[in-house]
Structure 1
Amino acid sequence: MREKFVYAARQAGQAVTMPPFDVTLRAAASLDGPPRRPFVLLGEDGPVFTLHERLGIAMSGNGLRAARRFMPHMTLFYGAKPMSTGEIEPIRFTVRAFSLIHSKLWLTEYETIGCWRLGD
């Protein structure tokens, strides 16, 4: 990644403010994703979408392109075959910080660009 994009992403992350919030994961799903399929827990609507929207606005304001679509999820593992999907017993946790991560395409290599606390 070019340093100017990393700098702009860090500026965007610093610009986002909001209080901590709860996330609830209610379903498990096997997604399409060549060459491997991610098996994820899916989040529901709520304040996580507000965080996504505010971060997108801050990114656009710093010359970056923000994703229009957003699916809150937690990836558990990657597999070659689809897994059973459906409702799960809800898992809840409080989000007190967020990180911007550079995910290298088709690899399981990640670089943390920055991390910011919520509500401070």
Structure 2
Amino acid sequence: MPQPIVHGLFCFAMDGFGSRCSARLFLAAVPDAGTAARIHLLASALKRAHRFDGRLVAPERLHISLFALGGLPEVQHCAAWEAAMEVRTAPFEVAFDRTASFRGRPGHHPFVLVGEKGLRALQSFRETFCAALARRGMRRLATTNFTPHVTLLYDAREVGEYPVEPIGWTVKEFVLIRSSNGHEHLVRWPLWV
């Protein structure tokens, strides 16, 4: 079994460090640098077209959130780690073909990439992950609603759905991210069968 590639500090460690850094931990799929640059370029054009004032999400922060782990007790971090080690699937494609505004909090609406057909493999991957979490007693986390998206910016204004030329990438890994002033990629799990 391949071991995850560890970068930086590992928050699931049993020495108590996990409880100090868990507030903004999440698992995500991250685009490669070239795709992130293309998404950022698209977001910039759409920001002008929609006359948004919000700041664009930086290319290195673009991602698809899979599970939020912040605020969970350390024992559940360890269970999530075990579930991540169990998940086996081949790399798969994701593709987004629309933009839309999510409701968000007043004056802070996420403007996002969304899709449908191009995200079925991602939905299937997450269901597999959910089953692994549920086997470890994390049913609440496993049953949270999931609308796959990539947030491009936040703005006071909302807009309806808008078609775009499909944009996507091959998901070859998922990543544990700690969000603070930037995104720190703590652990990477490669996809394999």
5+ residue gaps, structure 2, are 1-70
Q: Does 1:59 align with 2:130?
A: no
Tell me which of 151, 155, 161 is aligned to 1:85: 161
The amino acid that maps onto 1:118 is: L
4+ runs deviating over 3 angstroms: 100-103, 107-114
Aligned to 2:190: 117
Q: One-letter code of the match for 1:10?
A: W
Is residue 82 of structure 2 the alignment partner of residue 6 of structure 1? no
- 1:72 corresponds to: 148
Corresponding position of 1:50: 124
The 1:54–1:67 alpha-carbon spacing in structure 2 relative to 1, beyond 3 Å, is same
How many residue pairs end up in the alignment? 117
State how far apart, in whole Å, the 1-side matches of 2:177 and 2:135 are. Answer: 19
Higher strand share goes to which structure? 1
Q: Distance in 1 between matches of 2:103 and 2:167?
A: 23
Mapped to 1, the partners of 2:191 and 2:171 lie a distance apart of 8
CA gap of 1:72–1:5, structure 2 versus 1, over 3 A, is: same
Which is greater in Rg? 2
Q: Share of identical aligned residues, percent?
A: 36
2:113 aligned partner, one-letter code: L
TM-score, normalising length: structure 1: 0.82
Please report the RMSD computed on the Cα atoms of aligned residues, expressed in angstroms.
Answer: 2.5
In structure 1, C-alpha distance between the alignment counterparts of 2:152 and 2:104, rounded to whole Å: 14
Q: TM-score, normalised by structure 2?
A: 0.53
SS at match of 1:17: coil
Once the two structures are superposed, what CA deviation does each residue of 1:61-84 show, in whole Å capped at 9, x if it has no partner? 111121353211111111122135
Q: Normalized per residue, which structure has more helix?
A: 2
| CA deviation profile, 1:54-101 (whole Å, cap 9, x unmatched) | 010011111112135321111111112213531111102100011245
